[in-house]
Structure formats: C-alpha cells, structure tokens
Amino acid sequence: MATWNTGWEIEFPAQTVDELRLALVVRDLINGSSFDVESEETGAEFAVDYTAGDELEGTTYRLLLAAEVDGPDDPGLVQAFTEQALEEAIEEAEGLLEQATQVAELPLDRVRFEAVSEDAERWDLVIPDWLAPDGAEVPFGFRAFDAASGAPVPDDATLDGHGRVVAVPFDGRLLLVGIPAPVEHDEPGDEG
C-alpha cells in the first residue's frame, strides 16, 4: 500500500460564541483520530490519520484538516469517508456541548498565552491555534495565564474536574467551558 497525503479547509460559521465553541470541539474530536476503513461498495481498504489546525477570519472559522492515508490513491473515497467522519464529529460535539458548564469568563486582555514544556502540556485543554505564541507547538504546547498573577487559566484542578475545557475567545472575552470527555467508540460506519 502507498502512503499519501491530502487535506481540506472546512468553514464553519463563527458569528456567535456557540458556533465558535462547536467548531473548536469538532477540531478537538477529529485531531489525532485514526481509522481503518473498508469500503462496502468497492472492498477497498485504507487507513487514515487526521491532524487538525484552525484559523479565524472575521466571522468564519476554518478547520484545516490534513490526512495521511495508507492505501490506494483514491481521493474521492477518502473525501467521502472524511465527510462522514466530520458529520459524526459534529453530532458528538453537539451532544457534548449539551452537557457543558461554564467554568470562567474573563477579559481577553487579562490573559497571555505562553509556550509550555512538554511535561506541562494538557491534552484536555482546547485552545484555538491562532492564540498560540510564536514558536509554540499546537495544539497542546501552550496555555493561557492570568496576565497579572501569572496563574494558569484554567488551573490544573479545574482541568482535572472536566473531561475537556474549551477556551473560546469571543468579543474581547475568553470563555472557559467544561465538557465531558469524548466517549471511546467504534469507528464511523464503513463507507459504502
């Protein structure tokens, strides 16, 4: 089997805090996911590993999705599977957000974002890539800190109390929202 790469830019509306929050949770769910797929229609088999980044342009959130594929060079098949995986991620994100609790809200200008060492990274903290300082590894190599006290925002105890904490910068504020951890489950249905 050959290994090849492909990618997409998927736009989400970001006119409201809820829209942006949903897009960030979808990015968190799809980033780092891997699937072994067998097409019911053609019998073709492939493995796909996704990485995701993001950017914000006005009121449009752009999910930057990259796929490394082991299998036949069939972009149409991989795209169809990816669309299905994204639909399922959106549904899962909506379900997780139904259980969301607001952790904190503070002015964005009271927060600074700093690179952290690998042992200080938190996989359960979801921060948009565009807030990363220069040189920081995304998505986990940086954190938010209170500009006055230097304390992490949120602190580790708050992170430990939730499956994920999503940092949503919106309208000059930073909202921190706790959601349950995603449930480990079977892969999306085979593409057919």
**DSSP three-state, residue 47:** strand
Token pair, residue 73, equals 């060079």
Please tell me which residue, 41 or 186, carries the higher pLDDT value. 41
Report the distance separating Cα 132 and Cα 130, nearest Å: 6
Mean pLDDT of all residues in the chain? Answer: 94
Token pair, residue 10, equals 């998927």
Please tell me which residue, 187 or 67, carries the higher pLDDT value. 67
pTM as predicted? 0.93
Which has the closest alpha carbon to 50: 21, 96, 13, 7? 7
The model's confidence at residue 65, banded by pLDDT at 50, 70 and 90, is very high
- The residues, ordered by sequence, that sit 6+ positions from 9 with a Cβ below 8 Å of its Cβ are 62, 63, 64, 65
End-to-end CA distance of the chain: give it in Å, rounded.
20
* One-letter identity of residue 43: G
Over range 28-55, report the average pLDDT. Answer: 94
The answer to whether residue 189 scores a pLDDT higher than 50 is no
pLDDT of 97 reads 97
- Tell me: the pLDDT tens digits for 88-144? 999 999 999 999 999 999 999 999 999 999 999 999 999 999 999 999 999 999 999
pLDDT of 183 reads 78
CB 152 within 8 Å of CB 144: yes
What pairs with residue 50 in β-bridges? 67
Report the distance separating Cα 135 and Cα 117, nearest Å: 12
The answer to whether residue 180 scores a pLDDT higher than 70 is yes
The answer to whether residue 192 scores a pLDDT higher than 50 is no
- Tell me: the pLDDT tens digits for 154-168? 999 999 999 999 999
pLDDT of 43 reads 87
Output the CA torsion sign for 83, 86, 88, 94. Answer: negative
Output the CA torsion sign for 166, 139, 68, 56. Answer: positive
- In eight-state DSSP terms, residue 118 is G
